[in-house]
Structure 1
Amino acid sequence: MSSMIEEYRALVLRGELRADAEQAAAAERLDLLQRELRDDDSEGGWLRRLLGGRRQRPRGVYMWGGVGRGKSMLMDLFHNTLPISEKRRVHFHAFMQEVHGRLRDARRSESGDPIPPVAAAIANGIRVLAFDEMVVNNSADAMIMSRLFRALIVDEGVTIVTTSNRVPAALYKDGLNREHFLPFIALIEQELDVLGLNGPTDYRLDRVGDLDRWLWPLGDETTARLREAFFRLTDYPPEDAAHVPSCELDVGGGRKLHVPKTLKGVGVFSFKRLCVEPRGAADYLAIAREFHTVFIAGIPQLGPETRNEAARFVTLIDALYEHKVKLFAAAAVPPAELYCQPATQDGGSFEFERTVSRLEEMQSDSYMALGHGTED
C-alpha cells in the first residue's frame, strides 16, 4: 500500500490537484501521524507494551477551512492508506446520534455517570477515530462533548482526526450555555494540531461548475438534476442515499427545525417547510449561519394569493444572500417569473424585484466563489 504522502504527491503530479502549500503541509502532517501509528505496531512498540508500558497516543489533527479546499480528500487519503485495522471513520452528526443512543441505554441499565462506560465502549478496538465535518448545532451535543472527548482522548487513548468548516474557537458560536462548551475547545487546542486549509483552489466549483443552480420546471427530471448536484457537491455515493444524515437545527427560543438531509455543510429543505410553515427571520439566520450551501425543492410560482409565503421567501433569500450561502433550487419557473401578479392588482411585485436580482446574482460563478459568512 502506498503511503499518504506518496498518494498525495501522485495526485499533484497527475494534475488532479493543484499546488497548495497549506494542503501539502496537512498531507505531510497526516503522513507523520500514520508513521507514528505504524511505528507503535512495530517490534519496539510491542516490546514496550510487553514490559508494562502503555500504547502511545499520537497527537490528533483538526483540519478546518472553507468549502472545497480538499479537507475530505485528505481524510480519504489518510484513512484509506492507514495500515492498521483499529480505525473508524464516521460523519460527526451520525456519531453524536450514536452517542446519545448509547447514553440513553446506559442510563436505563445502570446508575452513575454514563459517559466513562460509553466512551470505553466506543474506544474498544479503536486507536484512530476520524470525523467528517465536525459541527455543533444543538445544546444537547454541546453539553456533553467536553467530558466525552476528554474520556476518549485522555482516558482511552484514542487519536482524533477531524475536518470542520470552522476554526475550533468558532464552534457553537453564540450557542445556548456556550460556557459549558468552552472546555471542549480548550481540549481540541491542547490535544490536536489545528491546521488551516484555505488555499486558492475551490474544488467545489470544479465539481458543480457545469450544473445549473436554478432548475425548472418542477418534475422528475428537475428532481434528478437537483439530486445529482447534491451528491456531486458532497462527494457522497448516490447508491447510499438512504443513509444521508438528518439533523434538528436549533433556531433559538427552544425551537428546532428538522433538516431532512445535511452533509458537509449542505442542508436540504422543501419550500413548504421553509416558507409555508410559520417561520421568521431568526429561523432563516440560523440556517444561513449553519450551512454554506442550501438546497430548496418545490418552489412554486408565487403571487398575491400566496403573499405570506412570498414574504417569507424574500426574508429567507435576504438571509442567505447576506451570509453568502450558495443556493441550489428546483422551482416552477425562472426567477424573473417567480412572482406573478395580475395586471389588475397592485402591490407585491415591486418588493420582489430585489429578490429576483439576488437570485440571479446567486447563480453566478463570482457569487459561488465567495466565502461563507458575513463580512464582519
Structure 2
Amino acid sequence: MTTVPELYRARAAEGHLTPDPAQEDALPELERIRAALANPPRRGLFRRAPEPPKGLYLWGGVGRGKSMLMDLFVETLTVPARRVHFHAFMQEIQAGIHRLRQQGQDDPIRQVAASVAHSVKVLAFDEMQITDIADAMIVGRLFEQLFERGCVVVTTSNRAPDDLYKDGLNRQLFLPFIDLIKMRLVVHRLSSDKDYRQDRLTGAQVYFTPADAGARKAIDKIWQDLTGGHEETLTLTVKGRAVELPRYHNGVARARFYDLCGHALGPADYLALTEAVRVLVLEDIPRLSRRNFNDARRFVTLIDALYEAKVRLIASAADAPESLYVEGRGSFEFERTASRLREMMAEGWGG
C-alpha cells in the first residue's frame, strides 16, 4: 500500500516533479485522509457507523501544484473515488435535479445526493468556485446530504473559502455553505511562490504561423507537457448555451478557432471560459475579412476576455497578428487586437 508522501518522493526521484516545501506541507493532510479511508475503525454491534475523516480544502495561486497533489492522492486510494472538475460536477447535478423535477419527484436534491454517495466514497474536485446563482442556491444542501451519507470531499481552489461567490447575488443565502466547508474540511493554503505552469512556458514559443503540421507537432508537445496526457471534455453552460472545450485538464484547454468563434457566442460565454481556464490553446486561426466578419468579431471579444483575465494563450494562425485582418469592416479596430496578441506572446505575460 503506497502512501501519498511515498508516491510524491517516488515521482520526484523519477524527475516527474520538483520537490517544493509548500507542496510537502500539504502531504500529511492528504495522507491523513488516505490512511483513515484505508483503515476505517470497526463498527461495534450497537454503535453507529464511525464518522468519516474530515476532507480537505486546498487553496492557493494558479500553477502551484494543487491539482498534481490531488492526482497523487486519488492514485493512492483503495476506495471508490471520482476525480472531476467542480464546474462539470455541478452541471451534472443541475441536470439530475431538473430531470427529477420533470418526473414530479419530491426532494430532488436529496435523491441526486443519494445517487452520488451510492457510487463513490471520495469526491475529488478540481477548482471549486461558485459563479452561478443556481449553483449557489443548492450547493449548501447538496453537500449537507453528501456529508450525511459519508462522502469525503477533497477539493482544490484558487480562492479562500471566504472569497467563494464573492459579491454574488443573494450571497447571504450562500454563507452557510462556507461555514459547512470550514466545519467538514480542513482548510490548507498552498503558499508556494512558484508558478510551475508559467515556468513550463518560460522561453517557449507560444504563437505559431502558419498553422501547419509543424505547428500542430509543436503544440502537441506543449500540450503533453502541460497536461501529462490527461484530458476530458468540459462543457460550460451559460444562459442555456453550451460552450464546449473539446480537450481540457487542470485549467488548461485546447480548442480550434471554429469551436469558439464559429458559433453564436458572446461576452458572457467568454467570461465563463476565462473563469474555468488559465491556459488556452487555440488552433487554426484563419485570415479574417468581410467574408467571416462575425467570426472575426467574436475573436476580438474572446481575445479581450482572455487579455483582461490574464489567461495565457498558445495559438496557431494563418499569419502574424498584424496580417490576420487587413481588409473589411472592423479591420482598423483589429489593430488593438493584434497589439494585444503581441503583448500576450511576450515572455512572462499573464499569471
- TM-score by structure 2 length? 0.83
> Within 5 Å, which residues of 2 pair with 1:54-203?
54-82=49-77, 84-107=78-101, 111-124=105-118, 126-153=120-147, 155-203=148-196
| Aligned residue identity for 1:27 | L
Distance 1:234 1:137, change over 3 A: farther
AA aligned to 1:159 is V
Q: For residue 259 of structure 1, what is the amino acid of its counterpart?
A: E
- Which one of 334, 337, 345 corresponds to residue 355 of structure 1? 337
**Quick check: 1:307–1:348 contact (8 Å CA) kept in 2?**
no
Give the Cα–Cα distance (whole angstroms) in 1 for the partners of residues 261 and 233 of structure 2: 23
Q: For residue 126 of structure 1, report the CA deviation from its aligned partner.
A: 3.5
Report the equivalent of 2:306.
320
Give secondary structure in 2 for the equivalent of 1:49: coil
Correspondences of 1:255-294 after superposition (within 5 Å) = 256=241, 258-261=243-246, 262-272=248-258, 275=261, 283-294=269-280
Measure, in 2, the Cα distance between the counterparts of 1:102 and 1:127.
19
Output one character per residue of 1:14-61: Cα deviation in whole Å (capped at 9) or x when no partner: 554334332111112111222233342xxxx21x43332322221110
8 Å CA contact 1:168, 1:185 repeated in 2: yes
State whether residues 18 and 201 of structure 1, in contact with CA within 8 Å, keep that contact through their aligned partners in structure 2.
no
1:143 is matched by which residue type in structure 2? M
What residue identity is the alignment partner of 1:36? A
SS in 2 for 1:31: helix
**Cα shift readout 1:164-213 (whole Å, capped 9, x = no counterpart):** 23333333445454444333222212211122224133332454557532
User: What is the one-letter code of the residue matched to 2:53?
Assistant: P
Name the counterpart of 2:316: 330
* 1:118–1:222 Cα change, 3 Å: same
> Is 1:297 paired with 2:292?
no
Which amino acid letter does the alignment assign opposite residue 336 of structure 1?
A: E
Q: Deviations over 1:219-268 (max 9, x none)?
A: 4554555455445423343xxx6x422222x3xxx464523334433344
Query: Following the alignment from structure 1 to structure 2, what is the Cα–Cα distance between the partners of residues 158 and 246?
Result: 25
- Partner AA of 2:105 in structure 1: S
Answer yes or no: is the 8 Å Cα contact 2:206–2:314 preserved in 1. yes
- Aligned amino acid, residue 21 of structure 1: P
- Among candidates 223, 231, 244, match of residue 233 of structure 2: 244
**In 2, Cα distance between equivalents of 1:9 and 1:228:** 26
- Give the 3-state SS of the residue equivalent to 2:143 in structure 1: helix
Query: Aligned-pair distance for 1:298?
Result: 3.3
Aligned residues of 1:59 and 1:191 also touching (Cα < 8 A): yes
The DSSP-based 3-state class of the residue aligned with 2:62 is: coil
Once the two structures are superposed, residues 59-114 of structure 1 have per-residue CA deviations (whole angstroms, 9 ceiling, x without a partner) of 110112233211122112212223x3243333334433433343345435563212
SS of the aligned residue for 1:244 comes to strand
Q: Distance in 1 between matches of 2:243 and 2:330?
A: 33
Structure 1 residue runs of 5 or longer lacking an equivalent are: 372-376
The whole-number CA distance in structure 2 between the counterparts of 1:289 and 1:102 is: 24
8 Å Cα contact 1:208/1:232 also seen in 2:
no
The percent identity for this pair of structures is 43
* Contact 2:97–2:109 under 8 Å retained in 1: yes
Output the amino acid matched with 1:68: G
Structure 1 residue 362, shift from structure 2 partner: 1.4
**Secondary structure, aligned partner of 1:67:** coil
The 8 Å contact of residues 233 and 244 in structure 2, kept in 1 or not, is answered as: no
Q: 1:235 maps to which residue?
A: 228
Instruction: Call closer, same or farther: CA 1:355–1:107 in 2, change over 3 Å.
Output: closer
Cross-structure match for 2:22: 22
Secondary structure, counterpart of 2:210 in structure 1: coil
Provide the secondary structure at the position in 2 that maps to 1:296.
strand
Q: Normalised by the size of structure 1, how large is the TM-score?
A: 0.78
Which AA in structure 1 matches 2:284?
G
**Does structure 1 residue 35 correspond to structure 2 residue 35?**
yes
Q: Can you list the C-alpha shifts for 1:304-346, whole angstroms capped at 9, x where unaligned? A: 77666555544443332232111122211122322325xxx99
- Conserved in 1, the CA contact under 8 Å of 2:293 and 2:329? no
**Alignment-mate amino acid for residue 38 of structure 2:** R
For 1:246, what is the secondary structure of its paired residue? strand
